[in-house]
Structure 1
């Protein structure tokens, strides 16, 4: 199959290299993406004003593609705020605290509960939901605060965020960039997410236990004072009976969502819409019951907080997503039909051209995707660069003639594990702040387990290709 590579293709490749370089040096990529879109538009149209229009059109297209994801995350965060302000989160989590009797149980209970809640609420709200209840219990039974932070971080910002099976924000970004269905990425990510999750958390646990036995890690007196004498931040008072009832109702509604997803095979946008609609209903119920006459105003207030969070998280994502959408079907919708007649999209063209001149192997493809994924995570958001791994995965899969979904899932997992984050200090702030530990120390603790996990997961991906 012959393809004609135009100047548009080479500009796209050049700016991919610039984006990677900026990420390596931990610099923001927004301006690079905008300049890239402008130059591609100018080269394609030959018109200054049309290339300027393409800047706005690319942002509008990216927001349109991501809007449902931003919306569902914003709504879930709004709901979680209402649960914390009414104290229902305490009733929701308290049954799990009864399982914690030893430091070992504390580590695994906090981690597993964090993972399950993060799949529905996303890690940052889940950290807030869990921190006030389970971390004090962990401190009481002898797990150092750093150990609790590791459990919350590895299971939440690692396993849950990188797999993202329920909300499906990460798979949508990577699937869109790769030009494949979301459920393909999710299916391919299951064995890789399991491998990465099990290997990383077990290694982290044994290193933690080793340092606890050596006395390197202990429960500090200041931690006991901070967590065991901590006040509450409730804005209303509900009876324990009502809190328990609402906690059971919320658990039932989300469990019902999972059953409905399974029965009707809901995935992608439909699954996210179901969870988002349920979260809206819960938000209204909680605010009306918890705040009574002020419930109408409070529901709006929580929604505003949720939208602020959603757009703050996805603000850095929109420019880079806008650039990478040019690599596939987005080009014609953003700029117009200016590619060569033989073109099947910039990324597909590059893949075909590359396959004819470079002898890539499955191992080279998997290792490269792991490295690219890790590099994209260096900006600390985990999401701003994973569109890149989808594009690179498509290029490599054309070369080795298979494995688009597996390579995309691998890049997604490594990118989010590094930057979503378990290694980049500024991405660790939510878990570190809740557990009252130094984010840099938490990052250092995570380095060995995460890198070993990435290595093992990459080997598994090679075997699956």
Structure 2
């Protein structure tokens, strides 16, 4: 099958390189994406009016693709705010905090708790939750502050955010760009990769922290002394106990229902979202009485402000990179004549040079890392998904595994494990220097990328 590359193709490729360059310079790529849509639309439709409408159509298509994820994340953020205000978050995490009797156990309990909280509440709310309740306990148990920050970071913004098994935001975006109708293939393909990435990074970090404790015990003593007077105080009521029991039970029931009834994609998201909004409504009424009828609006407003803040740039970036995928490009440009620009380049590339699994794995990894340098874990996902679709059409590979590899690379980089400007939330709540935290995370994450890429090559 021969491919004819047009002026529109080359314009699209030019703007792809501009976007990657801008992201590599740690600048937001929204204006290049908008100009890319405008110029590609003009070239394809041969009119100024067509160019302008292409920009808007792309945003609508991307918004429609992402809206379900925006809603679920917003509802979860609203619920997490209610849990914090009622003190239910403290009751939920207190039992885990009691398990941290020494530094070794504290590292793994803190990290796993952060991972679980991030899966259900997303890393940003989970950072505040875990940091306020469990971080002081971990330091008192003998874990250095930098070690606690690494554990929270690697398990939360690394393992949890790059898989997003429960809310399914990341795999949904990646899967859409890769041409899958649901995130299930990307989720399944990510399991062996994230096991490799998670084990290599966390075990390496644990060994490094053990060495620090042995070599510099005085710094640890100073940190522990500073925390002795900081006691966590919460106003606990009957509503706190109700939400502390009802929330984990309800979400655990959701996970069981997903497994039993094989709910995937939109159905799973709907179940979680409805559960969150019902818990929020009942909790507001119990906490505020009749005033809860108005208070729930404040919580929802805060939640949606959080969700829109996260996804506003992703919608524009996604709208541009969706031009690379056939079905989505047709929705944006022309239902009859449009093709996926990146898919066409992939076919042309396969016809001109021999492709192999190692090469495409490195391209996916590098794309995720470079685009993730802007500090947004979700910005790389439309592109890495499109790259997977491109190579999946050009050669016989498992494009779900390729997409999952790019997703892991993008989220671990941009989501906040190895770049200082993405580490500020964890660094702020633990009181460590974000540059130092990025430096300490670099070796574990680099080793993890290398091991995960090797595994991906065998699975492609």
The reply to whether TM is greater than 0.5 is yes
Q: Measure how far apart 1:164 and its partner are.
A: 0.7
Q: Which moved more, 1:213-222 or 1:29-38?
A: 213-222
Q: Measure how far apart 1:222 and its partner are.
A: 5.6
2-side partners of 1:224 and 1:128: how far apart? Answer: 22
Which residue of 2 is the match for residue 197 of structure 1? Answer: 198
2-side partners of 1:103 and 1:9: how far apart? Answer: 55
Q: What secondary structure sits across from 2:34 in the alignment?
A: helix
Q: 1:227 to 1:39 in 2, by over 3 A?
A: farther
Which residue of 1 is the match for residue 282 of structure 2? Answer: 285
1-side partners of 2:335 and 2:71: how far apart? Answer: 31
Q: 1:177 to 1:228 in 2, by over 3 A?
A: farther
Listed one character per residue, the Cα deviations across residues 113-147 of structure 1 (whole Å, up to 9, x for unaligned) are 11111111111111112122111111211111111
Q: Measure how far apart 1:458 and its partner are.
A: 0.2
Given that 1:110 and 1:148 are in contact with CA atoms closer than 8 Å, whether structure 2 keeps it comes out as yes
Q: Which moved more, 1:34-43 or 1:291-300?
A: 291-300
1-side partners of 2:314 and 2:218: how far apart? Answer: 37
2-side partners of 1:90 and 1:250: how far apart? Answer: 13
Listed one character per residue, the Cα deviations across residues 419-454 of structure 1 (whole Å, up to 9, x for unaligned) are 101011121111111112111111111000000000
Q: What secondary structure sits across from 2:285 in the alignment?
A: helix
Given that 2:139 and 2:223 are in contact with CA atoms closer than 8 Å, whether structure 1 keeps it comes out as no
Q: Measure how far apart 1:223 and its partner are.
A: 6.0
Given that 1:291 and 1:298 are in contact with CA atoms closer than 8 Å, whether structure 2 keeps it comes out as yes
2-side partners of 1:283 and 1:444: how far apart? Answer: 39
Which residue of 1 is the match for residue 414 of structure 2? Answer: 419
Q: Which runs of 5+ in 1 are unaligned?
A: none
Given that 1:139 and 1:224 are in contact with CA atoms closer than 8 Å, whether structure 2 keeps it comes out as no
1-side partners of 2:407 and 2:324: how far apart? Answer: 18
Q: What secondary structure sits across from 1:369 in the alignment?
A: helix
2:329 aligned to which of 294, 311, 331: 331
2-side partners of 1:25 and 1:242: how far apart? Answer: 48
2-side partners of 1:183 and 1:242: how far apart? Answer: 37
Given that 1:425 and 1:443 are in contact with CA atoms closer than 8 Å, whether structure 2 keeps it comes out as yes
2-side partners of 1:180 and 1:7: how far apart? Answer: 28
2-side partners of 1:349 and 1:104: how far apart? Answer: 52
Which residue of 1 is the match for residue 393 of structure 2? Answer: 398
Residue 77 of structure 1 pairs with residue 74 of structure 2: no
Q: Measure how far apart 1:93 and its partner are.
A: 0.8
Q: 1:113 to 1:92 in 2, by over 3 A?
A: same
Which residue of 2 is the match for residue 124 of structure 1? Answer: 124
2-side partners of 1:17 and 1:246: how far apart? Answer: 49
Residue 255 of structure 1 pairs with residue 252 of structure 2: yes
Which residue of 1 is the match for residue 104 of structure 2? Answer: 104
1:318 aligned to which of 315, 318, 342: 315
Which residue of 1 is the match for residue 376 of structure 2? Answer: 381
Listed one character per residue, the Cα deviations across residues 296-346 of structure 1 (whole Å, up to 9, x for unaligned) are 222111111111111111122111101011222222222224746xx5x32
Which residue of 2 is the match for residue 365 of structure 1? Answer: 360
2-side partners of 1:452 and 1:366: how far apart? Answer: 16
Q: Measure how far apart 1:407 and its partner are.
A: 0.6
Q: Measure how far apart 1:3 and its partner are.
A: 2.1
Given that 1:355 and 1:398 are in contact with CA atoms closer than 8 Å, whether structure 2 keeps it comes out as no
Listed one character per residue, the Cα deviations across residues 201-238 of structure 1 (whole Å, up to 9, x for unaligned) are 00011011111110078336366435742565x6xx44
Given that 2:72 and 2:167 are in contact with CA atoms closer than 8 Å, whether structure 1 keeps it comes out as yes
Which residue of 1 is the match for residue 61 of structure 2? Answer: 61
1:268 aligned to which of 265, 271, 275: 265
1:434 aligned to which of 411, 422, 429: 429
Q: Which runs of 5+ in 2 are unaligned?
A: none
Q: Measure how far apart 1:31 and its partner are.
A: 0.6
2-side partners of 1:21 and 1:216: how far apart? Answer: 44
1-side partners of 2:391 and 2:11: how far apart? Answer: 19
RMSD: 1.7
Q: What secondary structure sits across from 2:10 in the alignment?
A: helix
2-side partners of 1:439 and 1:383: how far apart? Answer: 20
Residue 208 of structure 1 pairs with residue 242 of structure 2: no
Which residue of 2 is the match for residue 168 of structure 1? Answer: 168
2-side partners of 1:37 and 1:242: how far apart? Answer: 50
Given that 2:153 and 2:426 are in contact with CA atoms closer than 8 Å, whether structure 1 keeps it comes out as yes
Q: 1:53 to 1:217 in 2, by over 3 A?
A: farther
Q: What secondary structure sits across from 1:33 in the alignment?
A: helix
2-side partners of 1:65 and 1:456: how far apart? Answer: 32
Listed one character per residue, the Cα deviations across residues 274-300 of structure 1 (whole Å, up to 9, x for unaligned) are 111111111112222122233222211
Which residue of 2 is the match for residue 350 of structure 1? Answer: 345
Q: What secondary structure sits across from 1:101 in the alignment?
A: coil
Given that 1:374 and 1:418 are in contact with CA atoms closer than 8 Å, whether structure 2 keeps it comes out as yes
2-side partners of 1:301 and 1:164: how far apart? Answer: 27
Given that 2:239 and 2:283 are in contact with CA atoms closer than 8 Å, whether structure 1 keeps it comes out as no
Given that 1:139 and 1:227 are in contact with CA atoms closer than 8 Å, whether structure 2 keeps it comes out as no
2-side partners of 1:306 and 1:230: how far apart? Answer: 28
